[in-house]
Chain A
């Protein structure tokens, strides 16, 4: 479902060119659970941004669900993102002035879903993520774990096939972290492709498929159970 061919991403910093991704080839099938690990600056965030279509590769070819998405217009990219990809961030990125329910509703509003259907889907999500009594709270009235649950509810409200999580537990205490990972893995068991970027080895090892990056290149790509 995700197929990257010869992806390169170069940044110009001052008069130097930084190669954030070097000839990355990667194929991820639907329903896989993949972790991407590596030190800071190894290019794992850039890889995530490329897959999520927030960033465009300098060279290379990207196919999503069998469709070339390398050269789509802004409008089309937004639609593809909306329908296929859910984001979970380290810093939650909830809109502070909106309530939990309103945050969860945002992707539906952007997609132009009508009000009745929105309310119904948001209610379902709130119940599913155990936020029943927190729906009308603003993010600053929620705990870290609750905030991340709101973020996951928002990421899944459009029922995307792919969830991208960038250090989803990086800002949480251990207990909340386990809870969140649990939620994400449950989604994966339901068939969602899960891609987790982390430099926490314990989290990375939970994935069935582990990718390690160094200096913009994939240096290892192994399945759980195989030797590494």
Chain B
């Protein structure tokens, strides 16, 4: 028996039993479509979250004062340290050959007034490097000037919300802003960034770090943001950071170093597993389709008893009958899977249309996995009916009308 003939015979048999075939196709298609859509949702969630973190900037290292210890008495969580992180610590890091930019950050809150209005706002003290490190964009004017970090300068860059609430639609560049008891000249306005993992840059007023230290009357840094020269430089950069801090802090390494990579990676791993889990659950529906296929195929075998007997009489070997029935199950499940693929992609597309902000993506492995599962279930659950057909006693089968 030739393969092309097997396909032709099987196609005829599938066409002859329309309702039966349609039921199997629908069951298979729903299962496959479920796998595709759910995997796409999971993958979309993964991309969304890792994308959020990547948007912080690449090759980023955060240095936080204090160290989480797992030994000793009371649990001193983050921030329990006698030594502050200082501006000099930050500048010392620039000596490392692996570090491209260092942005010391001071954060506080102060009343801000401009024109006739006043509001409480977040004040961020930093240096010109912050622009590069956090990938910020300016809507107007320019960012903090490149001046020595120790130098205070009465200039500021403001976020969109601050600008709108204090100045409305009036021109803002060159205006004076009063923060606490000091005056700063507005030299730039940030482009609207929306929320970026914790910090709302629309709500912030950025001033030179020395000015912020003077404003809050404290030399302590909130944290230091470090951008390494490349991805591969992350590990040696961390070593340099630890060594430098230890030297400067009387032999005690009392900071916590977090890489952005590690955060992204952790989320990536977790969400990939979640996606696989969801797809696995969806695959159960494929197993259900498989049992349905088996059921219908078994009924088909008993309905076609006489035909099977006849085929044996005119020279079909048991193996050939087995092939015919297996091919029928396989073709049914594959056709159903193809319909399911189309449905799944259509579903993913529909979600993408409805929620354009959500980066729904069908991961490359999912259609392959769905197809493979569909074919495997089809064959697996086709084996029993095929074996039954092959074992049928032709004499008895032919005795029926």
Residues of chain A whose beta carbon lies under 8 Å from any beta carbon of chain B: 49, 52, 54-55, 74-75, 77-79, 81-83, 87, 89, 91, 93, 95-98, 102, 106-107, 109-112, 114-115, 154-155, 158
Give bound CA distance, A115 to B2, whole Å. Answer: 10
Give which listed residue, A89, A114, A158, contacts B315 with CB less than 8 A.
A158
In the complex the two chains form, is B401's CB within 8 Å of A87's CB? no
Can you give 13 A-B contacts (C-beta < 8 A)?
A74-B318, A77-B317, A78-B320, A79-B315, A79-B317, A81-B313, A82-B315, A87-B313, A93-B313, A96-B16, A97-B13, A98-B12, A107-B315
In the complex the two chains form, is A111's CB within 8 Å of B315's CB? yes
Give bound CA distance, A191 to B380, whole Å. Answer: 48
A-B contacts besides A78-B312, A110-B314, 19 pairs, CB < 8 Å: A54-B312, A54-B398, A55-B395, A74-B319, A78-B315, A78-B320, A79-B315, A82-B315, A83-B315, A93-B310, A93-B398, A107-B315, A109-B9, A110-B311, A110-B315, A112-B1, A114-B2, A155-B314, A158-B315
Given A78-B316, A81-B315, A82-B315, A110:B1 Cβ within 8 A: yes
Interface of B is mostly: helix
Query: Does chain A have a CB within 8 A of B5?
Result: yes
Closest to A166 in B: B398
Query: Does chain A have a CB within 8 A of B24?
Result: no
| Interface range for B | 20 to 34
Q: Which residues of A contact B5 (CB under 8 A)?
A: 109, 112
Closest to B5 in A: A109
Given A54-B394, A74-B319, A112-B2, A107:B401 Cβ within 8 A: no
In the complex the two chains form, is B12's CB within 8 Å of A74's CB? no
Query: Does chain A have a CB within 8 A of B306?
Result: yes
Residue from the set A93, A102, A114 with the largest chain B CB neighbour count within 10 Å = A93
Q: Which residues of A contact B252 (CB under 8 A)?
A: none
Contact indicator per residue, chain B 132-158, by CB within 8 Å of chain A (1) or not (0)? 000000000000000000000000000
Give which listed residue, B307, B314, B317, B318, contacts A154 with CB less than 8 A.
B314
Give which listed residue, A75, A114, A115, contacts B317 with CB less than 8 A.
A75
Total contacts A to B, CB within 8 angstroms? 72
In B341-374, the 8 Å CB interface with A consists of none
Give which listed residue, B15, B311, B313, contacts A52 with CB less than 8 A.
B313
In the complex the two chains form, is B313's CB within 8 Å of A110's CB? no
Closest to B317 in A: A78
In the complex the two chains form, is B320's CB within 8 Å of A110's CB? yes
Q: Which residues of B contact A93 (CB under 8 A)?
A: 306, 309-310, 313, 398
Q: Which residues of B contact A107 (CB under 8 A)?
A: 314-315
Q: Which residues of A contact B307 (CB under 8 A)?
A: 95
Q: Which residues of A contact B309 (CB under 8 A)?
A: 93
Q: Which residues of A contact B12 (CB under 8 A)?
A: 97-98, 102
Q: Which residues of A contact B313 (CB under 8 A)?
A: 52, 54, 81, 87, 93
